[in-house]
Structure 1
Amino acid sequence: MHRKVAVLLKGYPRLSETFIAQELLGLERAGLDLVLVSMRRPTDKKRHPIHDEIRAPVVYLPEYLHEEPLRVARAALTGLFRPGFWRAFARFLPDLSRDFSRNRFRRFGQALVLAAEWPKGAGWLHAHFIHTPASVASYASRITGIDWTCSAHAKDIWTSAGWDLADKLKHARWAVTCTQSGFEHLRGLATAPEQVHLSYHGLDLDRFAPFHGTRSDADGSDPQQPVLIASVGRAVEKKGFETLLEALALLPAGLAWRLEQVGGGDRLPQLKALAERLGIADRIAWKGALAQEEVLALYRRADLFALACRIAGDGDRDGLPNVLVEASSQRLPCVSTTVSGIPELITDGEDGLLVPPEDPQALAAALARAIGDPALRKKLGEAAEHRVRRHFDHHSSIGQLVGLFEQEWRKA
Structure 2
Amino acid sequence: MSQPRKIVVLLKGYPRLSETFIAQELLGLERAGLDLVLVSLRRPTDRKRHPVHDEIKAPVHYLPEYLHEEPIRVLRGLFTSFRAPGFATAFSRFLKDLRRDFSRNRFRRFGQAAVLVREWPESADWLHAHFIHTPASVASYASQMLGIPWTVSAHAKDIWTSEDWELAGKLATAHWAVTCTKSGHAHLQTLAAQNRNRVHLSYHGLDLDRFPRFEHARPPRDGSDAAAPVTIISVGRAVPKKGYDVLLRAFAKLPAELHWRFVHAGDGGERPKLQKLADELGIADRTTWLGAVDQKDVLEAYRKADIFALACRITADGDRDGLPNVLVEAASQRLTCVATDISGIPELFEDDVNGLLVPSEDAAALAGALERAIRDPALRERLGQAAEAKVRGSFDHHASISQLKGLFEAGAREAA
- Which of residues 63, 73, 76 is equivalent to 1:74? 76
CA deviation string 1:4-34 (max 9, x = no partner):
1000000000000000000000000000000
Q: Hey, what's the Cα distance between the residues in 2 that align with 1:273 and 1:70?
A: 46
1:121-136 to structure 2, matched below 5 A, reads 121-136=123-138
- Tell me the CA shift for residue 398 of structure 1: 0.3
**5+ residue gaps, structure 2:** none
Q: Does structure 1 retain, via aligned residues, the 8 Å contact 2:4–2:409?
A: no
- Tell me the CA shift for residue 2 of structure 1: 4.7
- Tell me the CA shift for residue 83 of structure 1: 2.9
Q: Hey, what's the Cα distance between the residues in 1 that align with 2:111 and 2:282?
A: 50
- Tell me the CA shift for residue 183 of structure 1: 0.2
Partner residue, 1:307: 310
CA deviation string 1:207-255 (max 9, x = no partner):
1110101212110011110000000000111000000000000000110
Partner residue, 2:332: 329
Partner letter of residue 70 of structure 2? Answer: E
Partner letter of residue 22 of structure 2? Answer: I
- Tell me the CA shift for residue 131 of structure 1: 0.3
CA deviation string 1:345-385 (max 9, x = no partner):
00000000000000000000000000000000000000000
Q: Does structure 2 retain, via aligned residues, the 8 Å contact 1:208–1:329?
A: yes
Q: Does structure 1 retain, via aligned residues, the 8 Å contact 2:231–2:263?
A: yes
Partner residue, 2:411: 408
Partner residue, 1:267: 270
Q: Does structure 1 retain, via aligned residues, the 8 Å contact 2:81–2:87?
A: yes
Is 2:383 the counterpart of 1:380? yes
Q: Does structure 1 retain, via aligned residues, the 8 Å contact 2:354–2:383?
A: yes
- Tell me the CA shift for residue 85 of structure 1: 1.3
Q: Hey, what's the Cα distance between the residues in 2 that align with 1:220 and 1:254?
A: 8
Q: Hey, what's the Cα distance between the residues in 1 that align with 2:66 and 2:130?
A: 19
CA deviation string 1:96-140 (max 9, x = no partner):
110111000000000000011101111100000000000000000
Partner letter of residue 41 of structure 1? Answer: R
- 2:120 partner SS: coil
Q: Hey, what's the Cα distance between the residues in 2 that align with 1:79 and 1:328?
A: 48
Is 2:394 the counterpart of 1:394? no
**5+ residue gaps, structure 1:** none
Q: Hey, what's the Cα distance between the residues in 1 that align with 2:370 and 2:261?
A: 12
1:159-308 to structure 2, matched below 5 A, reads 159-191=161-193, 192-308=195-311
- 2:382 partner SS: helix
Q: Hey, what's the Cα distance between the residues in 2 that align with 1:59 and 1:6?
A: 10
Q: Hey, what's the Cα distance between the residues in 2 that align with 1:186 and 1:175?
A: 9
Q: Does structure 2 retain, via aligned residues, the 8 Å contact 1:134–1:168?
A: yes
Q: Hey, what's the Cα distance between the residues in 1 that align with 2:75 and 2:412?
A: 34
Partner residue, 1:149: 151
Q: Hey, what's the Cα distance between the residues in 2 that align with 1:48 and 1:82?
A: 38
- 2:86 partner SS: helix
Partner residue, 1:109: 111
Q: Hey, what's the Cα distance between the residues in 1 that align with 2:205 and 2:79?
A: 43
Partner residue, 1:6: 8
CA deviation string 1:123-178 (max 9, x = no partner):
10000000000000000001111110000000000000000000000000000000
Partner residue, 1:369: 372
CA deviation string 1:22-79 (max 9, x = no partner):
0000000000000000000000000000000000000000000011111001111112
Partner letter of residue 235 of structure 2? Answer: V
Q: Does structure 2 retain, via aligned residues, the 8 Å contact 1:2–1:121?
A: no
CA change 1:2–1:318 in 2 (3 A) is closer
- Which of residues 46, 49, 52 is equivalent to 2:48? 46
Q: Does structure 1 retain, via aligned residues, the 8 Å contact 2:349–2:355?
A: yes
- 1:255 partner SS: coil
Partner letter of residue 128 of structure 2? Answer: H
Q: Does structure 2 retain, via aligned residues, the 8 Å contact 1:125–1:148?
A: yes
Output the aligned Cα RMSD. 0.7
Partner residue, 2:57: 55
CA change 1:324–1:2 in 2 (3 A) is closer
- Which of residues 86, 89, 114 is equivalent to 2:88? 86
Q: Hey, what's the Cα distance between the residues in 2 that align with 1:163 and 1:392?
A: 33
Q: Hey, what's the Cα distance between the residues in 2 that align with 1:80 and 1:389?
A: 50
* TM-score (structure 1 length as normaliser): 0.99
- Tell me the CA shift for residue 386 of structure 1: 0.3
* TM-score (structure 2 length as normaliser): 0.98
- Tell me the CA shift for residue 82 of structure 1: 2.2
How many residues of Structure 1 are paired with residues of Structure 2 in the alignment? 412
Q: Does structure 2 retain, via aligned residues, the 8 Å contact 1:243–1:360?
A: yes
- 2:234 partner SS: strand
Q: Hey, what's the Cα distance between the residues in 1 that align with 2:391 and 2:84?
A: 49
Partner residue, 1:64: 66
- 2:137 partner SS: helix
Q: Hey, what's the Cα distance between the residues in 2 that align with 1:2 and 1:149?
A: 12
